[in-house]
């Protein structure tokens, strides 16, 4: 289905790019934009989306909360690891689509809940909002538009009454993070 969606998308882009509305007809020409959006949605759905039902079939822990999101790779490079984040009493796990038809859902990442120091919400990647999970060695970031709206559900799933050691929602990245003012308190007067 993903291959069919990509093929139809490619043909639609070709037609819209090289033919005018006068040659195709206005209705067909502008209808192709709807076809292109539909193809992108189909490609995304079949390539990345996981339902709770699919995750429950492979998750060994019972869970009451899950969130469709994308994890920013810990190494900083590459594409997001898209899937479903599951919070249980013991672990925080990210499941993603399998590579073949036999494995529809696989565990991509896992973290013991006891190692989570705090959570935060804010801009994860440039303008994408999401969830920060703070651990001793730094943070793990998840891109999700719904994370902040489900803040209370996430806190409850972790077994907390409120966010411990609430961090600021501001993050500093790149060269600014290595500036002396962020590391040397003697510069502050």
Residues in contact with 106: Cβ distance below 8 Å, sequence separation at least 6, in sequence order: 58, 95, 96, 97, 98, 99
Average pLDDT over residues 172-189: 49
pLDDT digits (tens, 9 = 90+) for 118-167: 999 999 888 889 999 999 888 899 999 999 999 999 988 888 877 776 55
Residue ranges per structural domain of the chain: 2-48, 52-174
In CATH terms, 52-174 corresponds, of 2.30.29.30, 3.40.50.450, 2.70.70.10, 3.90.550.10, to 2.30.29.30
Q: What is the pLDDT of residue 7?
A: 93
pLDDT digits (tens, 9 = 90+) for 42-56: 988 888 888 888 888
Average pLDDT over residues 7-16: 92
């Amino acid at each position: 289905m993903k291959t069919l969606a990509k093929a139809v998308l490619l043909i639609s882009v070709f037609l819209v790019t090289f033919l005018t509305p006068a040659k195709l007809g206005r209705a067909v020409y502008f209808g192709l934009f709807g076809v292109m959006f539909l193809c992108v949605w189909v490609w995304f759905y079949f390539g990345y989306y996981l339902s709770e039902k699919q995750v429950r079939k492979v998750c060994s822990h019972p869970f009451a909360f899950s969130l469709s999101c994308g994890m920013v790779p810990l190494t900083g490079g590459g594409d997001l690891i898209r899937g479903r984040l599951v919070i249980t009493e013991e672990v925080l796990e990210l499941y993603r689509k399998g590579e073949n038809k036999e494995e529809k859902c696989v565990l991509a990442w896992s973290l013991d809940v006891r190692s989570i120091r705090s959570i935060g919400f804010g801009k994860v990647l440039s303008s994408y909002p999401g969830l920060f999970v703070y651990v001793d060695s730094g943070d793990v970031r998840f891109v999700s538009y719904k994370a902040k709206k489900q803040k209370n559900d996430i806190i409850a799933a972790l077994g907390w009454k409120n966010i411990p050691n609430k961090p600021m929602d501001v993050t500093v990245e790149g060269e600014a993070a290595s500036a002396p003012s962020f590391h040397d308190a003697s510069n502050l007067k």
